[in-house]
Amino acid sequence: MSNPSYVIGLDLGTTRVKAILINEDGQIMASDDADYPLHRPTNDAAEQNPEDWWKSTCKVINTTVEKSGADVEDIVGLGIAGQMHSAVFLNDKLKPIRPAVTWADNRTGPEAQEIEDKFGTEKLLDITYNLSLPGFTASKVLWLKHHEPKHFEQLVKLVLPKDYLRYRLTDELLAEKAGASATLLFNLAEEDWSDDLLQVVGLTRKHVPPLVEPLALAGEITENAANKTGLVPGTPVVAGAGDQQAGALGIGAVKPGIVVSTIGTGGQIFTTTPRLIKPHQGRTHVFRGCLQDSWHVMGAMQTAGLALRWFKESILDQYTTNELSYDEISRLADNAPAGSNNLLFLPYLAGERSPHMDPHARGCFIGLTLNHELPHILRSIMEGVTFGMKDSLELFQNLNLPIQEIRCSGGGANSPVWKQIQADIYQQRVVKTNIQENSAFGAAVMAAVGSGLFPSVSDQSMDKLIKVTEETLPKAENIEPYKKFHNRFQKLYRVLKPEFEALSENRQ
């Protein structure tokens, strides 16, 4: 009887790295995670030290293997998912020149606009299928060139966080097509780097790694990495994908009709399509998926769960003696009625991506009265985030993308009231699956296919691994009130947009 075989999936997120180990039947045998800081040297900055990623990754791999009881000799592959858009700048020794500039960094607004002005909106959409935004990688390169020219002169390679982590594990510097498609330096139809866009930010092909398919083998664990992680030298490493692309695979969204609503630090709502679709005026994102002939149409919010965390940590925890858990916050929010007693929250605490693509947008509570209490405020935050996600869902409907089921994930999926709010506002059946860490699970599935443990990825094979465990149906009495609140939510943004611009420019 042969020994069992295992693979490891890593998810290098914005604030933590997660590792899971699965067996040949797709069962999760063990997991571990570790946090690392997100540094904010100025209000708009959001940076990280790549060495923190490496140390945390080594820790969680060691601990996960130890928890599982698996023999490291039986681990046949490792796959990596990672935060999208963030930029790691490497010198001629392939060492980071400075801290990584993450997707959440908003200093690059002028550079994003400069790229769009130089290239032209229509041409940009024709090549990248996306508008130029501060969160994308391209604007971060131009920011480095403008604000830190000495660092820019040292730049030899530009990589994404996941690709840097894979380099530390294998000594191979590669990029995969799914993650690269979200840099704004990629020709989506040709599935290759765009020479024209590289030139706009001052780079050439020499500055970016060669491209491979997400499921391709991209190296092996080196002796040095083996000493740090506890893995066996020579263990295959699969290229992997961005966290949302891997998450789509890990939650079973590999066919049209399944929409994924992720409320984590940011918010993402996306679906998979077998054909490349031009986005509606660039108000949604279109990226390459993990699988060939697979594309993601995605709406993304800057602050989703982060909006609730901001209120909890910066206001409640700072000025109250009894710290509330998120379960307690969820129960309090459930005590407020749908519509939060006519209180609306605009969740644009760090600008906004879909559908407004507006770095100047600001957060606000509208409608506060003496009758409002903490439960109303907490629920209004959840509703405001969900209204923002609904904006993107409406764009999917305008693109005639099928919507048969919404699968929820992220921290918002752990709150019964937030799941009900989603079902009521989306006017759709919302389900939860047996997979909690879908990005790490997707990375593990990619490792299993790339290493030959699984024969392929198909609808049927994913249906065997991923099961619906809960469903939340819309409450009929909430649908019409929420429609009216959502219309008002959309109107408030339009009315306040000029004031947001004035506030961001410190105009009187």
Q: Which positions ≥6 away from 326 have C-beta within 8 Å?
A: 308, 312, 411, 414, 415
Residue 68 burial by CB count (10 A; 0-12/13-18/19+): exposed, middle or buried? buried
DSSP letter at 92 equals T
Please confirm whether the linkage preceding 355 is cis (ω < 30° from 0).
yes
Chain-centre distance for alpha carbon 437 = 13
Q: Residue 161 corresponds to which amino acid?
A: P
Residue 393, helix vs strand vs coil? helix
Strand partners of residue 431: 407, 471
> What length is written for the chain?
508
Q: Which segments of 144-199 are extended strands (E)?
A: 157-159, 175-176, 186-187, 192-193
Question: Is 32 tagged catalytic?
Answer: no
Pairing of strands 403-409, 430-433: parallel
* Token pair belonging to 216: 């391709």
* Token pair belonging to 347: 């969740």
Q: Which segments of 311-378 are extended strands (E)?
A: 344-346, 364-366
Residue 250: HSE in the Cβ half-sphere, 13 Å Cα cutoff: 35
CA-to-CA distance for 474 and 494, rounded, in angstroms? 28
CA-to-CA distance for 164 and 50, rounded, in angstroms? 8
CA-to-CA distance for 33 and 29, rounded, in angstroms? 14
CB atoms within 10 A of CB 75: 24
Q: Which of 11, 32, 52, 243 is catalytic?
A: 243
CB 208 within 8 A of CB 175: yes
Q: Residue 337 corresponds to which amino acid?
A: P
Q: Residue 172 corresponds to which amino acid?
A: E
Query: What is the b/e burial string over 183-210, where b = at least 16 CB atoms within 10 angstroms of the residue's CB?
Result: bbbbbbeeeebbeebbebbebeeebbbe
* Among 130, 141, 80, 131, residue whose Cα is nearest residue 105: 141
CA-to-CA distance for 426 and 424, rounded, in angstroms? 6
* Token pair belonging to 275: 């054909």
* Token pair belonging to 379: 């629920």
Torsion angle of C-alpha atoms 101, 103, 107, 112, degrees rounded to 10: 110
Catalytic residues: 243
